[in-house]
Amino acid sequence: MELTTILFYLFSLITISSAAIMVFSKNIVHSAFALMFTLVGVAALYVLLYADFLAATQLLVYVGGILILFLFGLMLTSQGRDMDFKSITVNLLPASLLSSAAAILLIYAFGTAEWTIISPIEHSDTVHGLGMMLMSDYVLPFIIAGVLLLIAIIGAIVMATRLSSRLKKESN
Amino acid sequence: MDIMMIQMITEPGLTHFLVVSAILFGLGLMAILTKRNVIMVLMGVELILNSANINLVAFSRFTELSLDGHMISLFVIIMAAAEAAVALAIVLNIYNRFNSINLDDISLMKG
């Protein structure tokens, strides 16, 4: 067996099993940490697919940003010291039936479809190509994404500051 | 024939990555449907976005969608970051108003 194959199976095992731990864990903090391992495993799968820039972005944005945001959200919304981060689970049977049906249907579709697979193009690195594309073909989506991020940040700040000013008013 | 089969199983091709992403999608759907904590539901959404991203990157490696797939998944990551920031702000507002982030308690707009 080649090293790539072993690494693929190892990382997909890590990804799937920690995603399962995330879903089935009772403790939300454990779920958040399992989500971290899932995201790192997905980044490793990106590396196996020769997407080096995307893997770095995944680590920086998801593990470094979004996950920390989730942990902050958990911390700020935990009700006092007596709440031990339990997550309530409902509809276990119909939800598991539905989601496993969706997964099996997707796997069946992926297994039976005949994609036109070309021999993979070997990129030494994707950063140069991605940069060229961002400045030529994708310049409009790039600018729109920048504006979207600006609006999202402004919106988040406005919501958070309105919250704190209302709190101040109530306490006075 | 047997050697072909073994090679198909051992060498990770397009279908292998697609199967991994399908399983991740199922787990994310499960998290969205069963959990009643808003933050857990958001984590399920992130899982589904990641599975879509794996699909895009796998297609960009193995089919003619070369670097365009990378670009699309880059924009998906940008969207996910913006969505997480706004959603967490909304969750904090909800917690402040209802003193709970259980989805079943937040049913004012149900009518």
Global pTM reads 0.88
Strand-pairing partners, residue B42, are: none
What b-and-e string marks burial along A77-94, b requiring 16 or more CB atoms within 10 Å of the CB?
Answer: bbeeeeeebebebeeeee
Contact B78 A148 (CB under 8 A): yes
Closest listed residue to residue B43, CA positions, set A65, A32, A61 = A32
- Whole-angstrom CA distances from A151 to A72, A144, A161, B82 are 21, 10, 15, 9
Query: Which among B27, B58, B67 is the nearest to A129, CB-wise?
Result: B67
Q: What is the pLDDT along chain A (172 residues), one digit of tens a residue?
A: 688 899 999 999 999 999 999 999 888 889 999 999 999 999 999 999 988 999 999 999 999 999 999 998 888 887 655 455 667 778 889 999 999 999 999 999 988 988 888 777 776 788 898 999 999 999 999 999 999 999 999 998 898 787 667 666 766 6
Closest chain A CA to residue B7: A1
* Residues A8, B43: C-beta atoms closer than 8 Å: no
CB A34 within 8 A of CB A18: yes
Alpha-carbon span A119 to B9, nearest angstrom:
18
